[in-house]
Structure 1
Amino acid sequence: MTKSFFLNLFLLASISFIQAQENNNSTLSIKEIMQGDDFVGHLPSNANWSVDGKAIYFDWNPENAYSDSLYAYRVSSEKIEKIPFDRAYKLPSNYGTFNSTKSKKIYSKHGDVFIIDIPTSEITQITNTQDRESNVHFTKNETQIAYVRDNNIYTWDIETGVTKQITDFSTKKEEKEDKRSEKDEWLHQDQLALFDVLRERKEKKDQQEVFYKKENLKKPLAIYTDGKSIYNQQNSPDGKYVSYLTVKREDSKGTITPHYVTESGYTEDQNTRSKVGDTPDTYELFIYDIENRKTYPIVLDNLEGLDYVPEYTKDYPDKVYKNDNRIGYISGPIWNKDGSKAVLDINTNDYKDRWIVLLNVKDGTVTNLDHQHNAAWIAGPGIGGYRGGELGWMPDEKSIWFQSEKSGYSHLYTLNTETKKAKALTSGEFEIYDPKISNDKKHWYFTANKTHPGDRQFYRMPLNGGKLEQLTDMVGRNDITLSPDEKQMAILYSYANKPTELFIKENPVYSKNTTAKQLTHSTTDAFKKYNWKDPEVITFKANDCAEVHARLYKPAESTKNKAAVIFVHGAGYLQNAHKWWSSYFREYMFHNILVDNGYTVLDIDYRGSAGYGSKWRTGIYRHMGGKDLSDQVDGAAYLVKELGIHKEKVGIYGGSYGGFITLMAMFNEADTFTAGAAIRSVGDWAAYNHGYTARILNTPTTDSLAYRRSSPIYFAEGLKGDLLILHGMVDDNVHFQDMVRLSQRLIELGKTNWDMAIYPVERHGFVEPSSWTDEYTRIYNLFNKSLLGINAN
C-alpha cells in the first residue's frame, strides 16, 4: 500500500485509466454524465422582474457559451431575447432600496450609485468614480441618498444635487502638544513677558487656531478608529445620527496550500484559512451624533444571559472557562420608516445566543426585546448565525417581525416594542423561508415545506396570522419572485428528475388562471434520451425511534444484485432527500448508473440535515460521527431487512462532510460497510475552520472531548473494508494536508486495504470533467470489486 500511495502522490496516478463502461449495463456512461452542465443543459437562475413588471430577467446559457448571459422574457410578446452586454450593463440592479411610496429605487452597480424613477423608468447616475460606492440608503426623510465610499459616508441631495461628506474616519490620531512641566511653563511665561515679538506672534497664532477650530466645526468630526476595521456605516432616516461597527481582528496563523501544477513551472504557495480555535474578533457599535459632534458606544452589558457559561464546561471541572466578551456580530440598526425607533440583532461569539434589542440612539442604551438561546448553537432558516437574521418592521411602525426556533422549527413572529408582547404567526412541524410583507400591507408571502419536508410551496397569509393559502401546486421546489404589482409570479421550478426551468404564473389571489407556463427548455438532447429515475422519498426508523427521511433508488428485480450503496450528502446542514433537482446532480446521475447495474441506492438526510427543525439540526452537537453515523447504519439495516440486500454488500460514499462520515463509517462501523469512497473529506476537525466547526464542537482547547470523539484520524485502526480516498491537492476549504496526515496514520497502523487518488489542479469543488470522470470511475470500480467481486479489465 505504501508503494501504491507514493505512486499516486508523486507520480500522479501512473496506473492506467480504466473505463467503467466495460462493466456498465447502463446506456449512460460516467464520462458522459460527468460533463456536468454540458450534458444536462445550462439551467436558468437569478430570475427577477423589471421595475415596470413588463419583463423577467434571468441568467441562462442555452448556447453552451463560455458563461451565462442575461436573458429577458417579455410578457406582452411572450418571447425570450438575449440582452446585449451594453444594455445589460445599464439595467438597474436586482438589489436596492425603495422609498416609502415605491416611486424611487436607489442602488449601487459597477461600484457607482444610481436612482431610478419608477413611473418613468428614468435612471440618474449619482456617482461616476474609480472608487467603489456601496451601502446605499435614504436619509433626511428620503430627501437625500447616503452611501459609503472609502469607509466614509457621503450624502447626495435629490433636489439640489449637492454632495456632502458626513464622516471622517481616520487611522491616525491628531498629535497633541505635550503638556509642559511646571518649570517649563514658568520659562514659557517669562519669555512672553520679556519679548514683545514672541508675545505678538503667539497672539496671532492663537487667533488663527480659533479660526481653524470654527472652520473645522463645518467639517465632519474626525473619528479615530484605533486601527480597527469599520463596517455597516449608515445614516439614520432623519439624518441626525450615524451608526458604525468597529471590528478588531486578531491575528491567526493560516495554512499554506502548495500548488504543484502551475503556469510558471514552480511550486506556488497559497495562504489559506486558519484552523478552528481562533481568538474571537471584538465587535463594538458606535453612534456619531452629527449635530453635537460626539461619538459614544452602544452599551450592551444588560443583555439577558450575557454571563452564560456553556453546559459542556461541566465536563471539565478542573478547567477554568474564560470568555470575557461574548458579544459577536451586531447587525443594524434596523430603523422603522420615520426613524423614531431602531432595533439591533446581536449574536454571541460562542454562537449560543441571539438578542433583538431596542436601541435608544440618544444615549446608546438598549432594551431587551427577544432572547433566543440554544445550548448547541443558534441557526435555522431566517435566523442567521453568521450575521443577522430576517428582521423588519410591521406597518404599525411599533412592532417588529422576525424568525425564531422557539417552537422547535423556524417560524414567523411579531413583537410589540412597547408592550414587549410576542406572537407566533405560524406554527407546526415545518419551516418558513423568505417572508415578505405584501404591497397592501395586509398579507405575508413566504415559502414553506408544510406539505412535506422535501416539498417547498409558496403561500400567502393574513398579516396577523391565520390560514395559509397555497399559491403553487407543482410538487418539488418553487422559488418565487413576484412581479412589482404582485399579480404574476416568476418561478424557478424543479422536480427530482426534472432540472430547474423558468415558469410564469398568474397569482391565484388575482386570477383564476392557475396554470404555470414553462418559459425555458434547457436540457440537452443527450439528457432527454434517458428515462431518469424518480427516487422514492421514504422514512425509516432510527435506533432512537426517530423518523429518518431518505431518497431510495431501486433496481428492477431482473437486474437486482443484492448490493447497495449509501450516499452521504455534504455540508452537514443541507437537505438532499427532497423532491426537487439536487445540487448533487452528478451524484444523482451516477446513482442512475448504479441502479441500472443492479445496485440499490439510499441517500439519507441524517441528523444535522436542514428542513427538519432545531432538534434535528443540532443532533450532531459535540459528536459528529454520532447520530449522523448511526443514521447511516440504521439505513443499512433497513436495506438488509426490508429490501433483501446482502449484509456484506453495502458500500458508502460522499464528499466533504459526506467524506467525513464515510471515514467514520469505515473506521467505526466496519462490520456494516464493506467498502467506502471518501471524497474531499475532513479527517480531523481540529484542522477545519473556526466559523463552521466551533458552532458544533466548540473549540479544541475548551472541549477536547468533542474533537477526540468526532475526528476520524483517532479511529483509523478500525479499518477493515476497502477504503478509497479522493482529494484535490489545492483544496483551500478542506486542506489536502488533512488526508496526508490520515495516510501517514494508516501507514503507521500497517493498513493495506486502502488507496488514494489525488487531483493536482482541483480545489474543494471539482471543475474539470476529466477529474470528475476519473473520480467516479474509481468509485464505481471500487464498489464493483469490493461488493460484487467484479474486477476492472
Structure 2
Amino acid sequence: MWLAVVYQRPGVFREWITMHRLRCLACVAILVLGGTFAPAAWPQPADFSIAQVLDYAYPSGLVATRDGKRIAWVINLRGARNVWVASAPAFVPRQLTRFDKDDGQEITQLTFSPSGDTLVFVRGGDHDANWPAEGDLAPDPAASPEQPKVNLWAVALPEGTPVEITEGDAPAISVQGRLAYIKKDQVWTASLSGKGKAKPTRLFFDRGKDRSLRWSPDGRRLAFVSDRGDHSFIGIYADAHTPLLYLAPSTGLDDMPRWSPDGKRIAFVRQPGDGGPPKPILEQTPQPWSIWVADAAGGQGHALWQSPDTLEGSYPQTAGEANLDWVAGGRLIFLADLDGWPHLYSIGVDGGAPLLLTPGKFMVEHVALSPDRRSVIYDANTGSTANDQDRRHLFTVPVDRAEPVAVTHGEDLQWQPVAAGGQGVAFIDAGAKRPPMVALVGTDGRGQRLLQADLLPKDFPTAQLVVPKAVTFTAADGQLIHGQLFQRDDGRAAKPGIIFVHGGPPRQMLLGWHYMDYYSNSYAVNQYLASRGFVVLSVNYRLGIGYGHAFHYYPPHWGPTGAAEYQDVVAGAHFLQKTAGVDPKRLGIWGGSYGGYLTALALARDSDLFKAGVDMHGIHDWSRLIDPWFGKAASRYEKGDREQALKVAWQSSPDADMAHWTSPVLLIQGDDDRNVHFLQMVDVVQRLHKHNVPFDQLVLPDEIHGFLRHRSWLQADQATVDFLASKLLGGQP
C-alpha cells in the first residue's frame, strides 16, 4: 500500500509500502555486508529494546453490523492475526479465531451478514498491492513448502467455530444469506457453512474483470463493476435466466455502485474513460467526475452532479475516495475537495446544489453512517486542542445540515469510527505513548473506555517514551511544512539528528501512534531512536494529506516532474541543525517507499548534509515508470511532452546524482514487492558498486512491500537502528 503514485487511470490515485540481534537465516533474510556495518556500540544502556516497543496488539479492520449491535476487528499480535468480536450491550471482547503463527497471512475484509449472525473474512493475500504477482500467487513470506492461497472463512455467531469455505476474495452477503465473492476476476457463490454437496460455482459469466459486489436490499439482485480496461460498466445480475443489465453504458469509467434503500435505483461514480490527446505529464490538469443515478429495472440513467472543471474538483484521493452512499431523506452523501479541503457533502436525489456538511480548514477521512442513516460519523484532523491538525478526532453531523458535533477531543487520537449500540461509537484510540486499542464512547462524548487494555504487555515501555512536539519550518520556496520532533530531555548535548520521511506519499504523520500499521511501526522506531541518543524529526512534506488540496494534490514539480518536495526535506534538516541539543554535523535520514526514494535522493544530492541513511524499498529511477504509467512510446503517434517528461523524471531520480553520492546507506526490501519493483534495488546496488559508495543490503526473500511477518519488521528495524548508530553515534556520549 505504499509508494508511490500510480497513473492507472485519470483521477485515480493508487499507491505503488533472537529478536535483539540480526542473524542471517536461510529462506528468511539475507544480510549482505559491504564491510562497513557492524552491530552498534551504543554509548548508553538501553531503557528498552526494539522488540519491546514493537510488542503490542495492533487492531485494524473494525466493522459493525447494520444495527450496531455487534462489532468485529482484527488483532495482529507478534505476527499472529486473529478476529475478535464484541456484542451489545456490554461489548465484552471475544476471540473468534486461534491462528498462532507469524506466517504472514493477513486477515482482511471482515463482512457481517445483514442479520448480523454470520461473519465472513478473507485470510491471505496482499490487499495493498499495486499489481498481482506473476501467476496471481498469494504471498509466502514464511517460505512455506505448501503454497498459500487467499481463502474465505465464515463464523456463525454468537458461538460458532470458524470454517474455511473456499478459495476466494471480496465477499458480499445478501439478506437471504447468499454469499457472492470474487475468484480470478469473476463472481462466484458458495455455501456460507462450507458444508453440503453443493460446490462453489461461478455465479455468471461477464467479459470484464468483476469487482465491487453489492446485493440489492431484497437480496435478489447483485450489482457489480465490470472493468473493461479503458472503460467500465455497472452491471446487475438477477438470475441464471436473465441477461445481465448494464446501467447507462458509456465510454466512461463507472465505479462504486450503491443501491437505494427501496432497491429501485443505483447511484454510482463516473470518470472519463481513457483516451483523447496525451495529457501533459509535467503539468497537472483537472480530473473530472460525476455522480449518476440509474433505474435498476431498465438501466436508464442520468447525471445527478458534475464536478467543476478545476483541480479542486478532481476526483478525491483520500480514504474511501468519493465515499458515495444513500442516506435518509432521499439524499446522497459524498466526499469532495471543492473548497480546497476533503469534506462531506449531501445532495438531494432530485438534484440541486450540494450542501457542504463539514466546513472548515481540515480534512475528513474515515466515514461511517449511523444505523438510521440520518447522520454521519467521521474522523478529522481538527478539534479544540492545540495542534489538532496533526491528530484525528471523531465527529457526527446530520446528513441534511451543516451542524457537526465533536464526539472526542484532547491529546489522544481516534479514528475509523463505526456505530455501536443504540447511541454509541466504536473506534480505535491511541496516544503519544500508548499504542492503538479498540474503544467505545457515547455519541454525546461520555463513557469512553478501552476494550483490550489487558493485551498490552506489562513490560511495554510506556513511561520511557517521549511525547513528540509539533513544529513548523519553511521550505526554500516559502511553503510552510509541519513535522513532529522526538527529543528526550536528558541533559545530553550534541546528539545526532535523524530525518524521517514517510511513504505514500498521501500520508500524514501524527502526534501519536498511527492508524496504519506500517507507520505505527515507524513511530515505534522513531521512539526507540529518541531513547538511544538521537533527535528525530518526522517531516510531513508536500504531497502528504492533512494540509489542504493544494498541498496534497500533485503540487507543481512534484516527484518525477521535479522532486519539489525534496526541498521540504532539506528545510527539515536545516531546522534540525538549529535545534538545541543537536550536533549539526551528524545528520542521518531514513524512510520507506516514497520515503525510501527521498532518503536515496538526499544521500545522492547532499551527502555533505546527510551522513548516512536507511532506504527501505525506495524508487531510484523514475524514468523506468513512464512506460508502465503512460504506455510505450511506440503505441501511438502523438507523444505530448513525453520526451521532456522522461528527461525530467531521470533528473528527479537518485540515480541521476550517483556521482555525488558518498554517504553510506543500508538498503532493505522484500523481493516479492508488489508496489515497488525489486529491480529498483537490484539496479541501485550495481550503481553503488560502480561508484564505490559504501552500502549494506538486507533482502527479505518472499516478503512484500509492507512486510507481513513480525519477524521481518524486527529484522528490518533492528538493522535500521544499528546501522544509524554505527554511522552517527560514533561512541559519542
Quick check: TM above 0.5?
yes
- Give the structure 2 partner of residue 67 of structure 1: 80
CA gap of 1:678–1:482, structure 2 versus 1, over 3 A, is: closer
1:448 aligns with 2:467: no
User: What is the correspondence of 1:531-610 to structure 2 with a 5 Å cutoff?
Assistant: 531-556=464-489, 558-581=491-514, 583=517, 584-610=519-545
Counterpart of 1:435 in structure 2 is 367
Matches within 5 A, 1:164-203: 169-170=204-205
Q: Is residue 618 of structure 2 the alignment partner of residue 618 of structure 1?
A: no
The match for 1:283 is: 232
Partners of 1:496 and 1:534 within 8 A in 2: yes
Q: How does 1:186-585 map to 2 (within 5 A)?
A: 225=206, 228-231=208-211, 245-248=225-228, 280-286=229-235, 298-299=247-248, 327-328=252-253, 330-348=254-272, 352-360=287-295, 362=298, 364-367=300-303, 369-371=305-307, 375=311, 378-382=315-319, 384=321, 389-397=322-330, 399-451=331-383, 452-479=388-415, 481-482=417-418, 484-508=420-444, 513-516=446-449, 519-528=452-461, 531-556=464-489, 558-581=491-514, 583=517, 584-585=519-520
Do the aligned partners of 1:296 and 1:364 also contact (CA within 8 Å) in 2? no
Q: Report SS of the residue matched to 2:111.
A: coil
1:655 partnered with 2:592: yes
Contact 1:555 1:595 in 2 (8 A): yes
Q: Is the 8 A contact 2:52 2:460 kept in 1?
A: no
Secondary structure at 1:447 match in 2: strand
Residues 60, 670 of structure 1: alpha-carbon distance in 2 compared, 3 angstrom cutoff: closer
**Counterpart residue number, 2:140:** none
C-alpha separation in 1, matches of 2:219 and 2:61:
34
Q: 1:287 to 1:80 in 2, by over 3 A?
A: closer
Q: CA separation in 2, counterparts of 1:245 and 1:359?
A: 14
Tell me which residue corresponds to 1:18: 38
Indicate how the Cα distance of structure 1 residues 348 and 661 shifts in structure 2: closer, same or farther if over 3 A, else same: farther
Give, as a single letter, the amino acid of the residue that structure 1 aligns with 2:232: Y
Distance 1:781 1:525 in 2: 26
Match of 2:130 in 1: none
Which moved further from structure 2: 418-427 or 477-486?
Answer: 477-486
| Closer, same or farther: CA 432–650 of 1 in aligned 2, 3 Å | same
Asked if structure 2 preserves the Cα contact closer than 8 Å seen for 1:413 and 1:424, the reply is yes
Report the Cα offset of residue 338 of structure 1: 2.0
Mapping for residues 776-787 of structure 1, pairs under 5 Å: 779-780=720-721, 783-784=724-725, 786-787=727-728
Q: Which residue in the other structure is 2:698 paired with?
A: 758
Q: CA deviation at 1:574?
A: 1.5
Using a 3 Å threshold, how does the CA distance of structure 1 residues 393 and 726 change in structure 2: closer, same or farther? closer
- Number of the residue aligned with 1:638: 575
**Mapping of 1:2-13 within 5 angstroms?**
12-13=32-33
Contact 1:34 1:769 in 2 (8 A): no
Q: State the partner residue of 2:649.
A: 707
Rounded Cα–Cα distance in structure 2 between residues aligned with 1:441 and 1:773: 43
- How far did 1:693 drift? 9.7
Structure 1 residue 300 displacement after superposition: 5.7
- Offset of 1:15 from its aligned partner? 5.4
Q: How many residues align?
A: 628
* TM-fit CA distance, 1:630: 0.6
Alignment of 1:716 with 2:649, yes or no, is no
Cα deviations by residue, 1:103-145 (Å, 9 ceiling, x for unpaired): 78787668899999x9xx899x9x998686976465xxx8896
Matched position secondary structure for 2:506: coil
Kept in 2, the 8 Å contact 1:666–1:720? The answer is yes
Name the amino acid aligned to 2:494: N
- TM-aligned CA deviation for residue 247 of structure 1: 3.3
Q: Tell me which of 722, 735, 757 is aligned to 2:677.
A: 735
Per the TM alignment, residue 637 of structure 1 is displaced from its structure 2 partner at its CA by 1.7
> What is the identity percentage for the equivalent residue pairs of Structure 1 and Structure 2?
20
In structure 1, list runs of 5 or more residues that go unmatched.
1-8, 87-92, 157-162, 171-224, 249-279, 302-324
Q: Distance in 1 between matches of 2:435 and 2:542?
A: 27
Q: Deviations over 1:234-287 (max 9, x none)?
A: 676689987554334xxxxxxxxxxxxxxxxxxxxxxxxxxxxxxx54434456
Letter in 2 for 1:395: A
SS at match of 1:639: helix
CA–CA distance in structure 2, aligned partners of residues 236 and 769 of structure 1? 40
TM-score scaled to structure 2, two decimals?
0.72
Instruction: Report the alpha carbon displacement of residue 739 of structure 1 after superposing the two structures with TM.
Output: 2.3
CA contact (8 A) 2:465 2:531 kept: no
* Structure-2 change in CA distance of 1:620 and 1:154 (3 Å): same
Q: Relative to 1, partners in 2 of residues 1:724 and 1:485: Cα closer, same or farther, differing over 3 Å?
A: closer
In the other structure, the counterpart of 1:665 is 602
Greater fraction of residues in helix:
1
Partner Cα distance (1:626, 1:155) in 2 = 49
What is the CA–CA distance in structure 1 between the aligned matches of 2:714 and 2:573, rounded to whole Å? 27
Alignment partners' CA distance in 2, 1:780 and 1:235:
49
Distance 2:177 2:723 in 1: 65
Q: Could you state the TM-score of these two structures normalised by the residue count of structure 1?
A: 0.67
Shift of 1:41: 2.8
Give 1:478 shift. Answer: 1.5
- Unaligned segments of structure 2, at least 5 residues: 1-28, 100-108, 123-150, 192-197, 275-285, 632-639
Question: 2 CA distance for matches of 1:122 and 1:769?
Answer: 30
- Counterpart residue identity of residue 283, structure 1: S
1:470-492 C-alpha deviation (Å, 9 max, x unpaired): 11234232136555543233342
Structure 1 pair 440/671, CA: closer, same or farther in 2 (3 Å)?
A: same
SS in 2 for 1:539: strand
Q: Counterparts in 2 of 1:29-48, with a 5 A limit? A: 32-34=49-51, 37=54, 40-47=55-62
Residues 41-66 of structure 1, C-alpha deviations (whole Å, 9 max, x = no match) = 3344445567887776554477x7x7
Instruction: Give, as a single letter, the amino acid of the residue that structure 2 aligns with 1:246.
Output: S
How far off is 1:551 after superposition?
0.9
Aligned residue for 2:335, secondary structure, equals strand
**1:770 deviation in Å?**
7.2
Contact 1:146 1:235 in 2 (8 A): no
Residue 745 of structure 1 aligns to which amino acid in structure 2?
Answer: R
Q: Give, in whole Å, the separation in 2 of the partners of 1:240 and 1:76.
A: 32
1:496, CA displacement in angstroms? 1.8
Distance 1:74 1:788, change over 3 A: closer
Counterpart CA distance in 1 for 2:365 and 2:404 is 14
Per-residue deviation at 1:569? Answer: 1.4
Deviation at 1:775, TM superposition (A): 4.9
Contact 1:231 1:245 in 2 (8 A): yes
CA contact (8 A) 1:688 1:734 kept: no
- Alpha-carbon separation, structure 2, partners of 1:626 and 1:106: 49
